[in-house]
Homo-oligomer: A and B are copies of this chain.
Amino acid sequence: MAEDTVYMSTPDEFGRFGEFGGRFVPEALMPACLELEDAFLDAWSDREFLAEYRSVLADFAGRPTPITPLARLSERLGISVYAKREDLAHTGSHKINNVVGQTLLTVRMGKSRVIAETGAGQHGVATATAAARLGLACTIFMGEVDTKRQELNVFRMELLGATVVPVTSGSRTLKDAVNEAMREWVTCVEDTHYCLGSVMGPHPFPWMVREMQSIIGHEAARQLRDVRVGTPDYVVACVGGGSNAAGVFAGFANSSAQLIGVEAAGGAAVGHGSPGVLHGMRSLIMQDEFGQIEEAHSISAGLDYPGIGPEHAHLAASGRARYVEVGDEVIIDALRTLSELEGIIPALESAHAVAWLIREAGREIPLGSTVLLNMSGRGDKDVAQVLSILRSGS
């Protein structure tokens, strides 16, 4: 980690972060990726666009989200934990930050429709929401397994006027939803934007989505300064594709804070993956000895993904961030602990970050440390699943 390295800046002209990233898509999609890159570059330096983006986030999506000191959890663990409350953003997770930006960009590019993949359904709901607001048509691809465990979110998307397509190929989860969305995009790229939901996929998505999520980290850094906490010792976020983590890390990339990404043990691309190419990017991917992609298995639909965004692969390789994993078996307990102590029911995804804190406070995390925990989403979508797990008496 060289002293003068600047972390989380712009990728190179091929969209690479170190040896990861790039653009591995069918030729049919290349022009769209190039167009998107241009459009994003242009918009992201256009004051008017930025002003509109920020005002929609404020007036529609409820930003800034607060920082909540978690007094009782902190006392229990012997560390000072502050939660960045993305669960309070409209639609219930950080996903809205990204889709607000991408749907505004869709309109700017003159397209009239968006498609998206979704795992937990949060990105699908967010996309359907932002599309509704702008009168864009919207189709969401969702693994069939996920349509079942996240039924509530399927309903929400339908009420928002979106069409939800259950994906029955492969493991029928997030990975397959991405495949299917890509296949669909090939057929309609002219008038349709693929509103990717995490810091993954071909350039410019990993970079663009990180930029659109970086408001989380920048807000949090300012808020912690305002309450005189300053730079926390740790910044902790769960990692599926990695967008909420990238967003919060962006505010602390060049600070002294240790950055920790928490993967689901059954979907740990850093923990169990190796370099590979999937969904348009070169990154760390869980794969077998023949390069076949492994099916992720996580209690949480949003982390049920065998890859990770390329910038995270790079942050891991460079040592700037560290990626850890927690298993399904501790997630429900973590969710209950936070609910009962703090009155915040976290999403199962976010509960992974909580579980890591609970496990490591006083071990890896020295007592007395200050921790910023990114509460990426609320658990409403999960409570039916959690209760059925609890009732089946595990």
Contacts and interface: CB of A to CB of B under 8 A. Distances in A.
A345 B157 CA distance: 10
Contact of A155 (B160, B161, B384): B384
B72 A66 contact: no
Interface string A287-327: 00000000000000000000000000000000000000000
Contacts of A335: 159
A343 B129 contact: yes
A324 B266 CA distance: 55
A152 interface: yes
Interface string A56-92: 0011101001111100100000000000010011101
- Identify which of A152, A156, A335, A341 gathers the most chain B CB atoms within 10 Å of its CB: A156
Contacts of A160: 339-340, 343, 345
Chain A contact patch, size range: 35 or more
Nearest to A71: B133
Contacts of A69: 59
A190 interface: no
Contacts of A155: 383-384, 386-387
Nearest to A96: B343
Given A62-B66, A88-B90, A130-B343, 9 more contacts: A62-B85, A85-B90, A90-B343, A132-B341, A133-B343, A159-B386, A160-B339, A160-B345, A161-B339
Interface of A: 58-60, 62, 65-69, 72, 85, 88-90, 92, 128-133, 135, 151-152, 155-156, 158-161, 335-336, 339-345, 379-380, 383-384, 386-387
